Structure 1
């Protein structure tokens, strides 16, 4: 198959990336677009070195199986279907699904480090940077980790201060100037997503790709 049109989407923790992605994908037919997420390539926590306070740092580029992530992206480029076990963030109450990731004309690659990983960044045709003001991002992070993942409040705050913010500043923020579209997503506003999808659609047409949004 021809090389897919590759969209990279990265966002700070609490930037509303999950909401954005779900809504954004709805603007395209299932056969037009596929998504591969960096999150599904975390190295298992029990293989990592622990910090003195016994909290893992998941917010480092070395927390991801970078080689496997890039390998599977290239497999999609070659028209192959990928099977990958869903990462459940060590939540014992969730049984991981087996993900089937099929090649498609539009490939979305998402994750915190996709611009930092040079081999991935070099494949991107269009880069979207999602951000949110820190109080909004932290409130979203607390809501997600306390309710959805059952984490302890003190652990969440420790990780935010010592892992999340330093990682964002080191591995994502420096790439903001190179992105084609920067979105401040404080309100999960559907219009923001519609505008982004329309901008992508225009870019696709300019590249003579016969794909339109729905």
Structure 2
């Protein structure tokens, strides 16, 4: 076993599960050089510029929309201790300034995304799997709020995507892997204290084993 190999944590969760808050809370327990993050959201194949109606109908919730080969290669490069440079995905927003992300290797690598357990070669690299979930009604309200505030989507478009894309994809490509998770986090209540407590427990266990203590 390679003692220098990073510990790889997979964090999966459906839309509106509160995965982003969980992730941010988890990262907060580590120093910058102790942990690095690779997000599936930065590996969408470019969909080209679309009208609002085309965007509504385009299904982003399919594994085929993700460049999983590049995703896999970049994770492997981090495992080898190499720096990864990646264009940030802008969700087809022509006004967005595209940033180049610099992802540095670290003792703990977090791989985050909807399909990380579905992509078999990526799943095989994970040392620890966390599955974040919420009741469907709770998740939908979070999605409506996020897409309205952050992306300017109309509610009817959000509902169309939810019923036709989001829920079917969740049931087919994520939910079947719930039983393979090392930890399932139920996140129905928007109470940060619960999530902070859970992430603190996990980080307290991992930091002494994988991060050099100063």
TM-score, normalising length from structure 1? 0.90
State whether residues 25 and 199 of structure 2, in contact with CA within 8 Å, keep that contact through their aligned partners in structure 1: no
1:209 aligns with 210
Q: Name the CA shift for 1:210/1:103 in 2 (closer, same or farther; >3 Å).
A: closer
1:139 aligns with 141
Aligned counterparts of 1:197 and 1:126: Cα–Cα separation in 2? 16
Shift of 1:204: 5.8
2:198 aligns with 195
Aligned counterparts of 1:86 and 1:76: Cα–Cα separation in 2? 17
Aligned counterparts of 1:52 and 1:195: Cα–Cα separation in 2? 40
1:118 aligns with 120
Q: Name the CA shift for 1:30/1:52 in 2 (closer, same or farther; >3 Å).
A: closer
1:158 aligns with 160
The aligned length equals 208
Worse overlay, 4-13 or 179-188: 179-188
Aligned counterparts of 2:14 and 2:126: Cα–Cα separation in 1? 19
SS in 1 for 2:166: helix
SS in 2 for 1:36: strand
Q: Which runs of 5+ in 2 are unaligned?
A: none
1:64 aligns with 66
Q: Name the CA shift for 1:142/1:24 in 2 (closer, same or farther; >3 Å).
A: same
Q: Which runs of 5+ in 1 are unaligned?
A: none
State whether residues 24 and 194 of structure 1, in contact with CA within 8 Å, keep that contact through their aligned partners in structure 2: no
State whether residues 85 and 101 of structure 2, in contact with CA within 8 Å, keep that contact through their aligned partners in structure 1: yes
Report 1:55-134 matches (<5 A). 55-134=57-136
State whether residues 24 and 197 of structure 1, in contact with CA within 8 Å, keep that contact through their aligned partners in structure 2: yes
